[in-house]
Structure 1
Amino acid sequence: MSVRHFLDLDGAATLPTEALALVDQAVADLVATRAMGAVHGQAGLGKTFAVEQALARRTDRADACWVSFPSRPTMRLVAATLFAELCGVAPGRRDRFALSAELLEQLADHRGRDGRERLVVVDEAQQLNRECIEFLRYLHDHRLTRFGLLLVGGDGAWQVLAREPMLRSRIYRRVVCTPLSGTQVCALLPRYHRIYDGVDAELLLFVDDHFAHGNLRDWAAFTATALELCQDTGAEQLDEQIARNAFALHGGVRPRPATSSAS
């Protein structure tokens, strides 16, 4: 399984954040216990990347089935998508009841391809409505099934999931992804890309305060633009003028986004 950096940024390194380590441990635990977990946080914080990397480290043990859905999908769409991913064939005209029966049969064996442990990953979980969440819980909790279930979601995901007490009480591992703090930015960014090597912490904080706000995707977008500007000017590292020019190419400085509750 190949894990790609946002924008396929040349020379980017994977930052050893606390969230990355926690997601790695959570995935390991869900694979081992076949339990249910959740990874959530604002958009752009590296949730999907962290899950992909954790699974890439366990290709010999985990067989991951990835699914995602549009806003407020029907139960039939959830069942049909899962069926297609797990069975490798289109669901045809089967109704959701027939699909549910076949999914229970398919998920009765905790072993996926090549005998590896099965883990179903639902991305963009905040799109699910109550009926779809209950359907996933039903599949996972059925006496016949044996598989791990990981729900990955952006803004509002935990609020959606936590509305269902029967689901919330079954979450065995939960990782809340948060933006990098100023201290983390100064410690980690020089390890992220060579254009930050030797750059003063004051300049890194300037970029973070005016543009990235601790968001890994925004830092990646800024870095890709700044790298092009460095190459155009022959600069080896970021300076304030390059930073300001990069801001301009992205439409100017960005206000700090409002934070959503993770409780």
Structure 2
Amino acid sequence: MPATRTAPTGHELADVPIADNVFTDQLRHAHLCCRDTVRGRTIGLITGDPGLGKTHAVDRYFTEHRIPHVRVEPSALGRSPKSVLYRLLSVLRPEIKPRGTAIELVDELKEILAEEPRTLIIDEAQRLDVTGLNLIRELHDAPQTDFPLLLVGGAGVTRTLATDPALLSRVERTSRFKPMKGSKLVAALHELHPLLAATDQSVLEDLDRRVCRGHWRDWLKVTRFVLDRAEAAGYPDKITPKLARAASSALNPAP
């Protein structure tokens, strides 16, 4: 099986021992989007606000099913066509220094992408403008390439796609992440970590209202914060109201 190459994402939160069996409705829907995109070798879209678990969902699907893929995160520093092409080449062929015209770079990328079957995942796709997205669509549509294309990003990617109806119409599967609420959120938190499972529901709801707002990334931050202070807090088996207030004060960036 071809090796999987992944560009650094910056999404990882290390040192938080969490359960791997949390499987929400949104995660299930995202996995169906991944599955259908891979099977049909089409274009899929996974979108939603930052911190809701989009990248985790994609990573989990492709890892669990051992599907060859390459993930590229466009640079936030440049949206020009050449910047997009250079970024793709730097991940697909890190040993080669990109050079040539945009047309020559596109031709080179088509040859590289035709070499082996794998899914191309564009993470942080909201960083691309409509020209960048159309460049990647051109690579996908080339006769010699036959790869699934998965776009993952914030709401900006949907707005960009909407400016080009022809491009938007090419997206065959979509999965949208939204902040979890109510009983579904509490049930998922109970599976996420034993500390959260033992915490009073009223404390979880208050933390979500003050800090997390249904965002998984923020719940991981809260969990790590409490675990980091476990010794000073006497190794609690749950988040106490005092620890919750400390977490809210330390982690809430809002004034």
- Normalised by the size of structure 2, how large is the TM-score? 0.88
Aligned length: 246
Displacement of 1:251 after TM fit? 4.8
Matches of 2:252 and 2:34, distance apart in 1:
38
Equivalent in the alignment of 2:64: 57
Specify every segment of 5 or more residues in structure 1 that has no aligned partner in the other structure, as ranges: 256-263
Equivalent pair of 1:39/1:47 in contact (CA under 8 Å) = yes
Matches of 1:68 and 1:223, distance apart in 2:
27
Identity of aligned residues (%): 30
Matches of 1:217 and 1:171, distance apart in 2:
27
Matches of 2:182 and 2:232, distance apart in 1:
29
1:230-241 equivalences under 5 Å are 230-234=230-234, 235-241=236-242
Equivalent in the alignment of 1:149: 149
Equivalent in the alignment of 2:185: 185
- Report Cα offsets for 1:21-59 as digits up to 9, x if no partner: 122222222222111011110000111111111110122
Equivalent in the alignment of 1:242: 243
Displacement of 1:83 after TM fit? 2.4
Equivalent in the alignment of 1:83: 89
Displacement of 1:189 after TM fit? 1.0
1:161 is the counterpart of 2:161? yes
1:1-263 equivalences under 5 Å are 6-14=12-20, 15-59=22-66, 62-71=67-76, 72-109=78-115, 112=116, 117-234=117-234, 235-251=236-252, 254=254
Moved more, 141-150 or 211-220: 141-150
Displacement of 1:157 after TM fit? 2.0
Provide the secondary structure at the position in 2 that maps to 1:187.
Answer: helix
- Report Cα offsets for 1:81-104 as digits up to 9, x if no partner: 222322343243222111111222
Matches of 1:132 and 1:156, distance apart in 2:
13
Matches of 2:114 and 2:127, distance apart in 1:
27
- Aligned CA-pair RMSD: 2.3
Structure 1 runs of 4+ off > 6 angstroms?
Answer: 1-5
Equivalent pair of 1:6/1:217 in contact (CA under 8 Å) = no
Matches of 1:185 and 1:138, distance apart in 2:
40
Aligned pair in 2 of structure 1 residues 57, 245: CA closer, same or farther (>3 Å)?
A: same
Provide the secondary structure at the position in 1 that maps to 2:210.
Answer: helix
Moved more, 1-10 or 28-37: 1-10
Matches of 1:176 and 1:161, distance apart in 2:
15
Specify every segment of 5 or more residues in structure 2 that has no aligned partner in the other structure, as ranges: none
- Normalised by the size of structure 1, how large is the TM-score? 0.85
Aligned pair in 2 of structure 1 residues 151, 251: CA closer, same or farther (>3 Å)?
A: closer
**What letter corresponds to residue 46 of structure 1 in structure 2?**
G
- Report Cα offsets for 1:113-163 as digits up to 9, x if no partner: xxxx31111111111112111111111122232111011112422111222
Moved more, 170-179 or 96-105: 96-105
Displacement of 1:6 after TM fit? 4.1
